[in-house]
Amino acid sequence: MDSAAAARRTNLGILFLIASNGLTAIVDAVAKQMTEGLHPLFILWGYFLGIGILLAGYAIAKGIPLRSLTATRQRPLQLLRSAFLVGTIAFLFVGLARLPLADAFAISFMAPLFIVVLAGPILGERVGVHRIAAVIIGLVGVVVIMQPGTGVFQWSAVLILVSALSFALFQITTRRLVGAAPTIVTLYYTGFGGLLWTSLMAGFVWSPIGLGELAIFLALGGLGVGAHLCVIKAFDAAQASLLAPFNYTKLLWGIGLGYLMFGEVPTTAVLAGSAIIVVSGLYVIWRDSANRAASG
């Protein structure tokens, strides 16, 4: 693959990741609203129920046999990946019930740093000083937004940090599975693996659901399917450590959704921190393009 084609492929991967962040931000915002009446873990179960119903409907409509959806030599890794995803969303939803949307998103941006740190020993990727520097610069932006000492750091914040670590492991596992199984198989394990794990918890927080809640769960599931398809495509096109800083774009989605759904107006600190985060991502693109040009 020549340098121009490689650049286009990498940029496509970045766009897929940005789209995935937007879809998941919408899911998170809707879930935050729903926690006023439902337990976060029950909402999580409903989310995976929606994904499962949609995937099953797609398989039936296309005449795809169940055997082909489960045929993989990577079943333990697929189930582990779905467990990491459940952990990511479960800790996030519980934290969102007690933290403002922007604060929770900001704390969750520890995930790119975890990815960069873990991509070397787990994936064998070469993680240079420039990628690490870009992530650290992005974290400076997060600190500007969080303004330590204003009450953000509480036990709910610890849950968001655990969510960030789980998300990093989920993305690294996604990268490990690229090429090992068809996309539809990985999507199947994402949905039904998540439904399996959350069903083990749902009985403890069960609530009666009506057609309205079921419709919302199906809508969230549709967003989830789209998000996971995008993230699989992203990691098929670019390295995990290169994509890591672009997880920060979820903050931009969060600012927009916070304003539209909760009337949250971005402060000067939020805007300044967001600018720093965007610059860190653009630096990664520039540096990667310069390296390819030099080697080509």
Output the six-digit token pair for 99: 């933290």
Output the six-digit token pair for 233: 């495509």
Q: Could you tell me the pTM of the whole model?
A: 0.78
Phi, psi of 182 (to 5 degrees): -60, 155
In the chain, where the domains are located: 3-295
Which residue from 32, 174, 180, 35 is spatially nearest to 111, judged by alpha carbons?
A: 174
Distance CA 243, CA 245 (A): 6
CB 230 within 8 A of CB 97: no
pLDDT in tens, the chain (296 residues): 567 787 888 889 999 999 999 999 999 999 988 988 889 999 999 999 999 899 888 888 888 887 788 777 888 889 999 999 999 999 999 988 877 777 788 778 777 778 777 777 777 777 677 777 877 887 787 777 766 665 545 677 788 889 989 988 998 888 888 777 777 888 888 888 999 999 998 888 888 888 888 999 999 999 988 998 898 889 888 887 678 778 778 878 888 888 888 887 777 877 887 788 778 777 776 776 666 666 65
Spatial CB neighbours of 81, under 8 Å, sequence gap ≥ 6 = 170, 173, 174, 177, 186, 189, 190, 193
Phi, psi of 48 (to 5 degrees): -75, -30
Phi, psi of 126 (to 5 degrees): -85, 110
Q: How far is CA 248 from the centre of its chain?
A: 10
CB 223 within 8 A of CB 27: yes
Output the six-digit token pair for 48: 């995976």
